[in-house]
């Protein structure tokens, strides 16, 4: 019998239709803010449960009867060319339209077309609050979709009302969006950043970041499916899905949905295995669902590119906007800080981001990327032959290709990954280990039972070779292996170091490891 509930990957969750965790289970601070009549911010990356939390919060407050609460979006006013007057009308219309979903007619504000005063959000909220006997909790979504004068205008109106709450203005306003309040300044003119002591810009201490899920929370979510169907997500499968997703809520649901509905065709008698989790990961990456597409769209932003390039190369970051850019990309959910290591937020992002960035390169690698060229008679991968072919390919194409490439700094690494991906897609997989400041990128390639370790390093300093040997030796130790490849990319142009002298191949022994040094 088919389950009545399913793993949701579109829109907000409803308990009668979807497997879901209580979005307010760890949010006692929100109720404290409401009781204290605070203004605060909620921010989180897309599809992490913000909308579900807001709907649940508003419905719970209305049901308990001490407040009246509405969630509404200001996204309809979120474009640069809009005037303040039109923006106010659109935002008010959105508020009125949404109020009917949460409140009875007596608690709703009056229809905007019947409003006789100057139609501003401030006036509209004042008159609505005066007409009600209960305090209003206003949950204002997509606040960071607003630009320039419109954003400044809305924040100023909220600041003005802050002084006269709760009798003549909503007692609590939550500003909800992708980014923290401090990031709003990037969307307004510098002269408009400071809006005064009552400004929502000054509520940084009252800012809530919705986090990712723990293994235990993933297990709790999946146990609902088991209860409904009898089909079990074992501990080892849950652990692997946690590694793949980093607990990102949409990914956690998407992987489970892919396994249950797409791979196993809703046959609940079939056992869920680790292989299914890997297959689901590959399917999601190949299909690039809306969530992943919206994430990847952010890669075009210069602030994101600085951080992502540094992760792929292992570069250190030292520049004026480092802290702001780093926090911004963390807030977007693309990366995370683990014990001061800046890495991609989860394995799936770490896989799909390099693949997308080098997708055009992959498509332009023709016959050189044919898997069968590098397969021995016993079906094993000939890594020496593959890397020698790449040396030749790189010397012939890199200067032209990398000049046109958007991610120039990370270009050599991405070009090798593209070449490897074309070949490895024929029967293996690439595991990537990348972090800011490590000075290298580590690849573990698995193919037909064999494992190959590659360390990629830009030759910025004369010491790059020695450091690379030490680094790959330590990495091999962690894997219990003794053989690896150190790939050194020369960053000086061929006019200074010609190709006939920079392309080298050398087998060395270092710290009891057999290392092949591949230079180009």
Nearest CA to 516 among 403, 383, 369, 336? Answer: 383
* 388 and 344 in a common domain: yes
Q: What's the N-to-C CA distance of the chain in angstroms?
A: 60
The token pair at 360 is 């055009």
**pLDDT confidence band for 475 (50 / 70 / 90):** very high
Per-residue confidence (pLDDT) for residue 202, from 0 to 100: 56
Per-residue confidence (pLDDT) for residue 218, from 0 to 100: 98
The token pair at 518 is 């591949």
Which segments within 252-329 are labelled E, that is strand?
Answer: none
Instruction: Report the distance separating Cα 27 and Cα 211, nearest Å.
Output: 11
Domain ends where: 268, 287, 306?
287
Answer whether residue 129 is part of any domain.
Answer: yes
Answer whether residue 16 is part of any domain.
Answer: no
DSSP 14: -
* 113 and 63 in a common domain: yes
Per-residue confidence (pLDDT) for residue 402, from 0 to 100: 82
Instruction: Summarize the confidence of residues 190-218 as an average pLDDT.
Output: 65
**Omega before residue 166 within 30° of 0, cis:** yes
**pLDDT confidence band for 188 (50 / 70 / 90):** low
Would the pLDDT of 189 be above 60? no
> How many other CB atoms are there within 10 angstroms of residue 22's CB atom?
12
* 451 and 383 in a common domain: yes
Domain tally, the chain: 3
Give the predicted TM-score (pTM) of the model.
0.84
Instruction: Summarize the confidence of residues 36-49 as an average pLDDT.
Output: 88
Task: Domain of residue 102: give its range.
Answer: 27-209
Q: Specify which of 64-68, 364-368, 410-414, 495-499 reaches the highest per-range mean pLDDT.
A: 64-68
Q: What is the 3-state secondary structure (H, E, C) of 433-445?
A: ECCCCCCCEEEEE
Q: Strands 172-177 and 207-209: what pairing?
A: unpaired
| Residue 80 CB burial class (10 angstroms; 0-12, 13-18, ≥19) | exposed
Which segments within 324-435 are labelled E, that is strand?
Answer: 335-338, 341-344, 428-433
Domain ends where: 157, 188, 209?
209
Average model confidence (pLDDT) for the chain? 89
**Exposure b/e, 250-265, CB count within 10 A at least 16 = b:** bbbbbbbbbbbeebbe
* 344 and 301 in a common domain: yes
The CATH code of the domain that includes 102 is 3.40.50.300
How much of the chain exceeds pLDDT 90, in percent?
Answer: 63
* 196 and 261 in a common domain: no
Would the pLDDT of 369 be above 80? no
Alpha-carbon separation of residue 270 from 265, 276, 334 (angstroms): 10, 11, 34
**pLDDT confidence band for 242 (50 / 70 / 90):** very high
Is residue 487 a contact partner of residue 457, using CB atoms and an 8 Å limit? yes
Is residue 454 a contact partner of residue 487, using CB atoms and an 8 Å limit? yes
Across-strand partners of 18? 6
Instruction: Summarize the confidence of residues 407-432 as an average pLDDT.
Output: 87
Nearest CA to 29 among 38, 18, 20? Answer: 38
Answer whether residue 20 is part of any domain.
Answer: no
Per-residue confidence (pLDDT) for residue 195, from 0 to 100: 44
Domain ends where: 226, 258, 287?
287
The token pair at 245 is 């997703």
Note the pLDDT tens digit of each residue in 82-104.
Answer: 999 999 999 999 999 999 999 99
Would the pLDDT of 200 be above 60? no
* 258 and 147 in a common domain: no
Instruction: Report the distance separating Cα 160 and Cα 129, nearest Å.
Output: 14
Note the pLDDT tens digit of each residue in 300-352.
Answer: 898 899 899 989 988 876 544 556 788 888 888 899 888 778 899 999 999 89
DSSP-derived 3-state class of residue 37: coil
Would the pLDDT of 191 be above 60? no
**Exposure b/e, 372-404, CB count within 10 A at least 16 = b:** eebbeeeeebebeebbebbbebbeebbeebbee
* 326 and 458 in a common domain: yes
Per-residue confidence (pLDDT) for residue 236, from 0 to 100: 98
* 274 and 145 in a common domain: no
Per-residue confidence (pLDDT) for residue 60, from 0 to 100: 97
């Amino acid at each position: 019998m088919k389950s009545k509930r399913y793993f949701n990957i579109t829109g907000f969750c409803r308990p009668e239709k979807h497997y879901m965790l209580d979005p307010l289970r760890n949010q006692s601070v929100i109720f404290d803010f409401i009781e204290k009549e605070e203004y605060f911010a909620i921010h989180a990356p897309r599809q992490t449960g913000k909308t579900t939390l807001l709907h649940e919060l508003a419905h719970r407050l209305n049901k308990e009867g001490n407040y009246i609460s509405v969630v509404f979006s200001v996204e309809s006013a979120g474009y640069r060319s809009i005037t303040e007057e039109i923006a106010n009308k659109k935002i008010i219309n959105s508020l009125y339209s949404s109020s009917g979903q949460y409140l009875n007619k007596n608690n709703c504000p009056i229809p905007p077309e019947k409003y006789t005063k100057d139609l501003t959000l401030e006036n509209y909220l004042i008159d609505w609050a005066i007409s009600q006997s209960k305090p209003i909790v206003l949950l204002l979504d997509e606040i960071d979709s607003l630009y320039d004068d419109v954003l400044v205008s809305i924040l100023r109106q909220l600041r003005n009302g802050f002084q006269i709450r709760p009798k003549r203005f909503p007692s609590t306003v939550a500003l909800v969006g992708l980014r923290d309040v401090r990031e709003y300044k990037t969307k307004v003119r510098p002269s408009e950043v400071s809006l005064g002591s009552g400004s929502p810009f000054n509520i940084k201490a009252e800012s809530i970041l919705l986090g990712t899920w723990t293994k235990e929370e993933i297990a709790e979510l999946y146990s609902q499916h088991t209860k409904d169907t009898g089909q079990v997500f074992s501990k080892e499968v849950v652990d692997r899905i946690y590694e793949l997703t980093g607990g990102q809520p949409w990914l956690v649901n998407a992987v489970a949905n892919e396994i249950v509905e797409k791979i196993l065709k809703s046959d609940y008698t079939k056992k869920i295995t680790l292989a299914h989790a890997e297959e689901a990961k590959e399917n999601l990456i190949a299909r690039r669902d809306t969530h992943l597409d919206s994430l990847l769209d952010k890669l075009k932003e210069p602030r994101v590119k600085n951080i992502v390039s540094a992760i792929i190369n292992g570069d250190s970051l030292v520049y004026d906007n480092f802290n702001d850019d780093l926090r911004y990309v963390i807030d977007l959910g693309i990366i995370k800080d683990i014990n001061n290591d800046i890495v991609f937020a989860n394995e799936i992002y770490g896989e799909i981001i390099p693949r997308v960035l080098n997708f055009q390169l992959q498509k332009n690698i023709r016959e050189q990327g044919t898997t069968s060229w590098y397969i021995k008679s016993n079906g094993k991968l000939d890594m020496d032959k593959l890397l020698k072919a790449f040396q030749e390919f790189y010397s012939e194409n890199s200067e032209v290709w990398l000049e046109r490439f958007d991610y120039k700094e990370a270009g050599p690494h991405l070009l090798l990954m593209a070449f490897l991906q074309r070949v490895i897609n024929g029967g293996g997989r690439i595991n990537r280990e990348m972090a800011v400041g490590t000075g290298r990128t580590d690849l573990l390639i698995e193919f037909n039972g064999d494992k190959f370790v590659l360390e990629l390093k830009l030759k910025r300093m004369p010491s790059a070779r020695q450091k690379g040997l030490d680094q790959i030796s330590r990495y091999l130790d962690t894997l219990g292996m003794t053989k690896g490849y150190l790939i050194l990319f020369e960053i000086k142009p061929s006019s200074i170091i010609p190709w006939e002298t920079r392309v080298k191949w050398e087998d060395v022994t270092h710290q009891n490891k057999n290392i092949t040094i591949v230079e180009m």
